Structures are given as C-alpha cells and as structure tokens.
Chains A and B, each alone.
Chain A
Amino acid sequence: MTNEIGNEPDDITRLLRERLPRHQAPAGLRGSVVEALDPPKGRRRPSLWIAPALSALATAMVMLLWLAPALPRATPDQMERLSRAVMSEYARGVFAGEVSPETLPAALPRVMRDSGVLLSWVFTGDADIRLVNAQPAYLEGRRGLALTYQDRAGHSVSYIVAHGPNVAIPERERVQIARWRPAVRTEDGVSLIVWKQSGLVCVMVSDLVSADDLGRFKEYFVKVRSATEVSPSY
C-alpha cells in the first residue's frame, strides 16, 4: 500500500505499524456479535415446506387474533424481560427507603464487593438529586448493584448496574442524550434509560414519566453517566 504513495514505508508508516497498539475485540463483544449473527435455527433459509408452513401460520394467526384476549401474554423479548427485572429492583429500592448519610459511604464498598461491580467514581448527588441508598441487586439472576437517588420533589431514581444479561439495545429505541445514545422507554408508569458500559448493563429507572419529568430524568442521566465509572471487578 505504501508503495502506491511512496517507494518505501516512511517514518510515520513504520511508527504506526510498529508502535500503535492494536485493540482486540473483547470476548463479550465477540459473544454479542456471534449471537446477533446467529438467528434461531429453522428461520435461516426457505425450504420446500415453507409454503404450507406459511399457510398454516396464517390460519393460526387468524385464530390467534380471534382468541388473543383470552390467551396469556406472549414471551417477552430481551428488553421487556430486562424492564420487568429492573422494575422489581426499583420497587425494592423505593421500599428500602433512605439510609443515613453516615452509613452510606461505608455500605458502598460492601455492595461493590457483593455485586462484583466496581464503581471507580460514584455520583453522590448535587443540589437537584442525592444518593440515598446502595444495595446489591439481581437482574434476571445476575449480580449487580442498585444506587437509589431522590430528587428535590421526592421522586426516586434508581441506577442499576449488572453483569450481563447480554441485551442487544434496539436501535429504534435509542435517543441522543448529550453525547450518549441510550435506549429510552416508558412502560407501566415508569421510565427507563438503558445502556451498556464496560460490558455491563446499566439502567436508570424512575417514576418520572410526563414530558417535563422525562426531560428532568434525562438531566439526571447525564449527571450520573458523566460522573460514574463502572467496571466488572472480576
């Protein structure tokens, strides 16, 4: 390639090739990509049975639409499952209430040790929102931690970080907030902001759901996201 520009590799070319670190894809990323590239078996390529199968499926869909109200809900997707797990942790955080300001700093290292999530920097609050509790958390059976904040109006905001689950964040749900693009969703009376950081799943959840409140929630996200550094501790 260099020969197309010069006759031999110059100083910069040599420097780039010899001294510039090469970053290898982390195993977690490789796993996510393999998973994304490997759709469920049986849907890969059309076969001879595709026409009758489609016909049967169409009949079944008509029946399903007719009977839908009486049927149990379909299996939720990854994000739905995550949302439910988060909501349950959020409720737990709200019920746990506030820990005394003297106890909280001492509790954080224990929570980090128990959860396997290391927070190099923690956002402990400012004039608008303050940290009131820290607890170990579980998202779909995986360890993590939950930091509960309370804003001036008394709204609870939980920031939950957990190992896996390997959730693909759908592009259609992503929203630009400052310099990040997390997924934002509102359901069952709560708002969620979901993103991935250092191979961990991070979620902020709150009962701030109206348009104005959501704006405030996004401001809280920016505060937490920019002031907190997370990493798996093992």
Chain B
Amino acid sequence: MADDDFRQQALGHIDALYNLAVYLTRNGSEAEDLVQETYARALRFSHRFEPGTYMRAWMFQILRNTFLTFYRLREREPALSEAGVPDGEAPMFHHAPAEDGESAGAHMDLERALGRIPEEFRTPLLLAEVEGLSLEEVARIMDCPVGTVKSRIFRAKERLRALLKDYGGQDLMT
C-alpha cells in the first residue's frame, strides 16, 4: 500500500481509536498519549500491514497491545475480586457534550459500570457492540479463539446488567 494511502486510511480511524482509548485508560490525556503512540507504532510497522485486510481492526490491535504493554501496569487497573469484578471505583473521564441531568446521570452510571468490568471483558464488548467489528476480528485483536470472545461478551453483558441494577439503573434497561 502506498504511504499516502496508508496514512490517509489510518487517520480515518482516529475517532474510533480515541474512543476506545478513553474507555481503556479512563483518562483523557492518557488516552491521547495512547493514541499518539498507537499511530507511531502503526507507522513504524506499516510494512507488516497486509493490504486488503481491515485496517481498523489492525489499528485497534496495536492500540490494545500498546495499552497492555505500557499502561496497564500503572496501577490504574483495579485488582480483580473473586467474582472477576474489580474492587472499588475507578474514576472515569467524562467529556460528553452538554446534556440534560437525567441523561447525563444515565451516561455516568453506564460509564461507571463499564469501568468496573475487567479489560479482557470490556474491550471485546466495546469492539463488537459499539465499534461493530466481527467476532473474528475481535478474536484477532484479543489474540484468543472466537469462542472465548463470545463467552467474554456474554459475561461482560451479564456483569454490566448486574452492575447497572446495583446502581439503581433499572430504568436504563427498559
């Protein structure tokens, strides 16, 4: 793939990458650093990208690997409890446009609940259900079989549902 095409295509995914980065790091400036590092790496390894394959999934894969390598060890990731749900609350970065109080509260609950799901479950859920990637693509990004991805998404939904009920967000579920 020509360099210019590669750059153009890569740049087209910046919003999606930043969105995932925010939900991974839960911090705006760290998300920016993560996205910058992702692009630096993508450019460095652009020769490994196979033209004709899905660049978005490739970029997500780089972003997640960079996150796991450099960011996850920063004690930001809460320790897992026996139930596989992190103990304690993790602060979320909230930068959504202005909205009414009720809607903002619902967003906060949803983000807060999402922040309490371990990364291994949160990432496939976001990639599949928010970014619309196929299970095969998610499996490639997560470096695990498709069956594992399915099971993680299922469990992530179960946990999210339970957490939202804990927050009194039954109305969100209707």
Whether B135 and A33, one on each chain, are in contact in the complex, defined by CB atoms closer than 8 angstroms, is no
A interface vs B, CB < 8 Å?
1-2, 4-5, 10-13, 15-17, 19-26, 28-30, 32-34, 36-38, 44-45, 168-169, 171, 174, 176, 178-181, 196-199
Majority-rule SS of B interface residues: helix
List of B residues within 8 angstroms of A21 by Cβ: 94-97, 107, 111
B29 touching A196, Cβ below 8 Å: yes
**Interfacial chain B residues near A174, Cβ < 8 Å:** 70
CA gap between A181 and B69 in the complex, in Å: 12
A-B residue pairs, 4 tightest by C-beta: A21-B96, A179-B74, A25-B18, A12-B157
- Which chain A residues border B22 with CB–CB below 8 Å? 23
Q: Is B55 an interface residue (CB 8 A)?
A: no
Tell me the residues in window 27-45 of chain B with beta carbons closer than 8 Å to chain A beta carbons.
28-29, 31-33, 35-37, 39-40, 43
CB distance from A198 to the nearest CB of B (A): 6
Q: Would A19 and B129 be within 8 Å (CB), given that A29-B35, A29-B36, A37-B7 are in contact?
A: no
Contact B43–A36 (Cβ < 8 Å) = yes
Q: How far is the CB of A42 from chain B (nearest CB, A)?
A: 13
Give me 16 A-to-B residue pairs in the complex whose CB atoms sit less than 8 angstroms apart, sorted by A's number: A1-B135, A16-B130, A17-B129, A22-B15, A22-B130, A23-B28, A23-B31, A24-B18, A25-B18, A29-B32, A33-B36, A36-B40, A37-B10, A44-B3, A45-B3, A181-B71
- Chain B residues near A178 (CB-CB < 8 A): 74-75
A16 to B127, CA, bound (A): 11
Judging by beta carbons under 8 Å apart, are B18 and A13 in contact?
no
Complex Cα–Cα for A2 and B128 (A)? 8
User: For residue A10, which residues in chain B have a CB less than 8 angstroms away from its CB?
Assistant: 157
Contacts of B10 in A (CB 8 A): 37
